[in-house]
Structure 1
């Protein structure tokens, strides 16, 4: 309880009443509330505190015995649990904090960064490998078109493409971009 509540309890002489309520009823009320709330122990503790506060308001000044109010406490906890279920049905479920979410933003930054990384990696390739990948992937040449453009046989285009892609993959892997 907060400092102001504790001071209020001491000044009213009701601290013993609240202690007696917790001593005699806390465990069975907490279990009952948790069962009503489908295992939500944190909310069950909140209901127990609210029921105790209501008992203090209603019975502490009447010199009522804290032991004899058990049925009343169970009714209060049941009503609080019903109110909780109704409130959850009305409002949408609580969501995850925004700090924990990985939001996907549809912008061109990822494409720009990927393009820059690939261009840097292409710059590290041997000129024949860079040339074959530029023709086949960036310009969209077929194997026959690339062979004609470079004046080499189609088998050589295929072979260079294979080894150029392997070299590009190794460079990207060395930079931590792709897995082997």
Structure 2
């Protein structure tokens, strides 16, 4: 850089750096960050030779505008939006299983009111996930009997649940 430009840039810094720094500190409250913004503003002024040739009032307005844009860009940057690590991670929220527990208790009580044959067919088919043929083989009864026990067992289970206030 020619000595003429160095002198103009030094004069520019001496004339405007303090006011730009105060403006940035006023915007952000961050003194260390303000130093970085002023440095970047001066660098941009140095890269724009026309700024060195303007009158001081226009130059200060340009520098304040550049500094404000740099502050806004920093606030919007991905680095600023990232979460900051903390010493202890927050507690994990677990789902409330209270309703499921009450449903399980209610169904167990209703199943207990069924006959052993109906209860065995329902538990094997619905809770065991077995097909009608598999349930018949497990219980050593014909498939038609399994279907009949499932039909009448489910009807009795529905009534037992209704007696306990279940309407769904």
Same fold (TM over 0.5): no
TM-score (norm 1): 0.41
Larger Rg: 2
TM-score (norm 2): 0.44
